[in-house]
Chains A and B, each alone.
Chain A
């Protein structure tokens, strides 16, 4: 697997989506690369089907392992959640002001940020996201539903001056 500058920056952004901190993101990426280098499979002839997604999962696992002891937020990445029935709509039709994005991302859990990142930046389908994070599709849909609700709450907090809307 080749780590190009472009890929390293991509992985860094994923780390940033998880940690919400540039310094921690750089640390996480470094630890993940080291873990990749030291994995036993590196020295076998076993081929990894999709090294890129394998490395994204490795980053995720490293995030959970390293930060778990002092970052309670990761609980939302590793604990099972109740799946609520929803209508299956995604966020494709949501319009939002640019400045609201930072506010949204700082008001949602790491697991929700991760899903948004994989959906928007990596352009994963919902089924691919579910496979990547090892959760049922219903859980992904449930989290998307929750993000929608948070976006709506932003609108209410802004006193009806709609910042996010649906097409």
Chain B
């Protein structure tokens, strides 16, 4: 039965919703925004009420307010600086989040050559890692993803001995993140995340900790 195109398109899209688990995760993530915004708004809340109190308490009050204002300005500046800088912990947190989503591979492949063909749109070539020798780890496949806004390869590897599956990323270094000389470890959302550098690339391995 024919219906207006508009109605059909609307009904088509209404069939799609976020999976419950992802919806919960995004709600939790977005609450961070409300918190940060509220926190900062409160810290810079120099409204009329504050001014009235300054007049009431005189010079001592004024000095106190100036001191508090200076402290708040400082904390605001610090919050801003921290918010704009991408840290390794941020990257680890994002890797842990993706690991927990257990997203399916876009390509199933057990060889690096096959994966290189699929990941031809990356600005770099996938590399074999000395930390994941092929006699111990088996490639399962991968998909495109992003790490702090930089397009990256998200691979799945299986430890041959234990059968444990790891989420493994190869990425360019996000802007502003300093390359590391030694591997770093983080725990986030119950996931152990290891980050290291090889041949100029950022490599990340996430697994249930």
A residues sitting closer than 8 Å to B (CB atoms) are 1-3, 5, 8-9, 12-13, 16-17, 22-23, 25-27, 29-31, 33-38, 40, 42-43, 45, 62, 65-67, 69-71, 91-92, 94-98, 100-102, 105, 116-117, 119-121, 151, 164-165
Can you show 12 pairs from A to B with CB atoms below 8 A apart?
A2-B34, A8-B18, A16-B16, A26-B101, A40-B80, A42-B37, A43-B37, A43-B79, A95-B4, A97-B1, A98-B12, A102-B12
Partner of B9, one of A71, A95, A101: A101
- Number of residues on chain B facing chain A (CB within 8 A): 52
Among residues 1 to 33 in chain B, which have CB atoms less than 8 Å away from a CB atom of chain A? 1-14, 16-19, 22-23, 26-27, 29-33
Among residues 55 to 82 in chain B, which have CB atoms less than 8 Å away from a CB atom of chain A? 76, 79-80
B residues sitting closer than 8 Å to A (CB atoms) are 1-14, 16-19, 22-23, 26-27, 29-34, 36-37, 40-41, 44, 76, 79-80, 83-84, 94, 97, 101, 103-104, 121-123, 143-146, 149, 151
Partner of B121, one of A26, A43, A69, A98: A69
Contact B83 A5 (CB under 8 A): no
Given A31-B149, A33-B26, A43-B80, is A117 in contact with B11 using a C-beta cutoff of 8 Å?
no
CA distance A95 to B97 in the complex (A): 43
Chain B residues touching A, majority SS: helix
Partner of A116, one of B9, B19, B27, B146: B9
Q: Which 10 A-B pairs have the closest CB atoms?
A: A70-B121, A3-B30, A120-B9, A95-B2, A94-B5, A120-B6, A101-B8, A13-B13, A37-B33, A101-B12
